[in-house]
Amino acid sequence: MNFLPLFFNLKGRQALLVGGGDVALRKARLLKRAGVNLTVVSHGIIDELKALLSHEQDQIIIGEYHPALLDGKVLVVAATDDNALHERIHFDASEHNIPVNVVDTPSLCTFIFPAIVDRSPIVIGISSGGDSPVLARLLRARLETLIPQGYSNLGSLVGRFRDQVKARFSVLNDRRRFWEYVIEGQIAEKVFSGRDTEAEALLTEAIKQGKVGHQIGEVYLVGAGPGDPELLTFKALRLMQQADVVFYDNLVSPQVLDLCRRDADLIYVGKQRDNHAVPQEGINALLVNHAKQGKRVVRLKGGDPFIFGRGGEELQELKAEGIPFQVVPGITAASACSTYAGIPLTHRNYAQSVKFVTGQLKNRKQELNYAELIHANQTVVFYMGLHTLPDLVKGLVTHGKPENTSVAIVSRGTAADQQVLTGTLADIVSKQEQAQLPAPALIIVGEVVQLQEQLSWFGTVGDQQSVAHALSMSKAVES
């Protein structure tokens, strides 16, 4: 370890910054965030840096650096393009035993600026010892996605109540268990949701009760999106990585599932056509039972849990049992699959509205209002309709939708093996019989489908060629 990571309290202390350009500005911003009183010396100073030095103890000196400027300073930063000057500053600061940082010159530094994740009072510093600052910055960016801004408020809340908790729990292990209860439970989730007043009330009551034992758990109904793990929300990822148990369905991709906490129990409760691993009533009971054991439960559902995901039914059961819950929306298949297929659901020249329709209703009985689905300038997206495609097409045409209306089937949308088959109401059934695109698939009906070939961007060549090849081979066999 070439550098020892330390955190210094510099509020109200004096520091010297030599340089007045953009690089100096970046260092000045960090120092001012830490409460430093800053003296800047340079022949020229950019306006943004001048505006930053607003404290009465800050100072701007237009001119040359000289060693007397080090008097009373606790650290020095050199950010110019003059190597000889940098060496002088390093020598002078070392002579005065003052920590010095020379930008982009690790050999002249006695301290370095890490890449910082700032969730004050929680602060994380990442350093490569000057060998690879770009790598440190990229790692910081990765952590930024995993640590929500709410941790700042949570840290402040804990700090405000620290003395009260210490007075309430005299035993160290009791205090530790209590804070784990706070930081890993509903109080923290209230903070993350921006409900600070509720969180503070719960914390006050918890201290009063003095309980550190069993607590009821919570259920997180999380939309896993269409399959591409990069389409998950930050909140979904955070909850997945803190869950004790995860119940997942058939549409959750292995790549998404792999992002769950490593030691979480992963339980499959998926449903496929005519094959329900666990009936819906059983899933509801599992969610309730595990939450009552004090566990953090993630119900991971493909797409969005409130769009044909039966999420509302599960929440009704949780509500009846007094189980706290949260819902995290996901990118629904209609939006994701159409986007990855290059089909805008609305376009001012083709469609001014869009309807999401399930092609598979309760008890397999179709009860679609086709009169509402045949309007011009409208896109209709059918979920779970691949097995009823002939009936859907017949219903639309019978009720007046023109047979030349464009149709697309998007199979396994957003996945590496995504395929797109386009046609019209007149021929899409026969094309699908030949191509046999697999489920899960989405059916898009409307003139916007005409833009697919022009706007396709994801796997365009290979996927379209594979479908075209399947059709050509089928025709060759028939002839």
Strands (E), 161-259: 218-223, 245-248
Residue 188, marked binder = no
- Whether cis (ω within 30° of 0) applies to the bond prior to 440 is yes
Task: Give yes or no for a contact between 359 and 443, defined as CB atoms under 8 angstroms apart.
Answer: yes
Q: Give me the sign of the Cα torsion angle 363, 366, 369, 374.
A: positive
Residue 303, marked binder = yes
Long-range contacts of 6-9 (CB under 8 A, 24+ apart): 7/123, 7/125
Instruction: Give the separation between CA 219 and CA 283, rounded to whole angstroms.
Output: 12
Residue 270, marked binder = no
Residues 6+ apart with CB under 8 A from 186: 202, 215, 218, 324
Residue 210, marked binder = no
CA 268 to chain centre: 23
Q: In what order do the strands lie in the sheet with 14-18?
A: 59-62, 37-42, 14-18, 75-78, 100-102
User: In terms of Cα–Cα distance, which of 144, 130, 136, 74 is closest to 102?
Assistant: 130
What residues are paired with 347 via a beta bridge?
Answer: 351
Residue 427, marked binder = no
User: In terms of Cα–Cα distance, which of 42, 104, 45, 92 is closest to 67?
Assistant: 92
Instruction: Give the separation between CA 303 and CA 249, rounded to whole angstroms.
Output: 11
Residue 384, marked binder = yes
Residue 282, marked binder = no
Task: Give yes or no for a contact between 158 and 199, defined as CB atoms under 8 angstroms apart.
Answer: no
Residue 23, marked binder = yes
Residue 302, marked binder = yes
Q: Structure tokens of 274? A: 């005519």
Report the catalytic residues: 249, 271
Residue 304, marked binder = yes
Q: Structure tokens of 280? A: 């819906």
3-class SS at 305?
Answer: coil
Residue 43, marked binder = yes
User: In terms of Cα–Cα distance, which of 255, 235, 243, 253 is closest to 146?
Assistant: 235
For the chain, how are helix, strand and coil distributed in percent, rounded to 5?
Answer: 45, 20, 40
**Binding positions:** 22-23, 43-44, 226, 302-304, 307, 332-333, 384, 413
**Binding positions for NAD(+):** 22-23, 43-44
**Binding positions for S-adenosyl-L-methionine:** 226, 302-304, 307, 332-333, 384, 413
